[in-house]
Amino acid sequence: MPELPEVETTLRGITPYLLGNTVAAVRVRDGRLRWPVAPELRRELPGRSVAGLRRRGKYLLISFEHGHVIFHLGMSGSLRILPSDTPPEKHDHLDLVLINALCLRLRDPRRFGAVLWTREPALTHPLLANLGPEPWDVHGDYLHQRAQGRRQAVKSFIMNSKTVVGVGNIYANESLFAAGIHPARPARSVSRLRYARLASSIRRVLDDAINAGGTTLRDFVDSRGRPGYFAQDLEVYGRGGLVCHRCGARIRHKRIGQRSAYFCIICQR
């Protein structure tokens, strides 16, 4: 579910409820996520107030004066603000209970997500330290430079978080369509000019998706439980066999690097 726009939508939704608020308790119902939920949370957070929230790639950081909670929503995670006495449902694994009778609740059916704790500067955490730049700091020359010598498909190249963070499968497909680049083309064979086009397509697609509240395919909901509306704007993702909105050809579907790629062979070269 969550790519960068969904994480950003979640961050914007929860920030007003958390910033400056104080944690009363931490409830862990099932700590078996990708890694075990940090056991320190239960002793470190009660009585402490939230000093800041931010996003880095698809990671969501909740900062306290003495450390940071690092969330990753994996494939199926979502965070919601609810009254703290709301009965939990099946995959509601964790609550940060706040002193004003609200709570931040993590739901994650597939349990690919993560909830970690660090006392070090958040960006020095091993999971964050080697991330590439945010999409809004990426320009064509940088991509072109980094692609030199790489035979890997350009789609896999831009989905690599060391190249650029936040470009998951939906938005990789959409950005490549918008830029007119075939997803299987070797990264090193894309010209500098076309990388400039791709960099701006990535930014525009992500901005549009954020403004639509993210993409809901099956179950993404924002912090208030509402779906995102970008799915209706998708040009290629999930549209295999349907007609291209630009040229009328059939959208193709194949696997590239073990992920589904959707593209138009007329519009993308």
Active-site position among 55, 56, 58, 146 = 58
Q: Name which of 67 and 71 has its Cβ closer to DNA.
A: 71
Among 19, 25, 28, 127, binds DNA (CB under 7 A): 127
The answer to whether residue 27 forms part of the interface with DNA (CB under 7 A) is: no
Task: Please report the sign of the dihedral spanned by the C-alpha atoms of residue 160, residue 161, residue 163, residue 167.
Answer: positive
Q: CB under 7 A: which stretch of 36-44, 199-207, 209-217, 242-250 binds DNA?
A: 209-217
Cα 70 to Cα 44, 56, 267, distances in angstroms: 14, 10, 40
Nearest partner of 41 among 24, 17, 55, judged by Cα: 24
Q: CB under 7 A: which stretch of 15-23, 62-70, 132-140, 258-266 binds DNA?
A: 258-266
259 is catalytic: yes
The answer to whether residue 156 forms part of the interface with DNA (CB under 7 A) is: yes
Binders of DNA: how many residues, by CB under 7 A? Answer: 43
CA angle 188–174–199, rounded 5-degree value: 50
Q: Which contiguous run of DSSP H or E holds residue 263? A: strand 259-263
Q: Name which of 57 and 67 has its Cβ closer to DNA.
A: 57
Nearest partner of 128 among 136, 138, 120, judged by Cα: 120
Residue-by-residue DSSP string for 39-68: TTHHHHSTT-B--EEEEETTEEEEEETTEE
* Catalytic positions, written as ranges: 2-3, 58, 259
Interface residue list for DNA (CB under 7 A): 1-3, 6, 32, 34, 57-58, 72, 74-76, 90-91, 109-112, 127, 149-153, 156-157, 159, 161, 168-170, 187, 214-220, 257-260
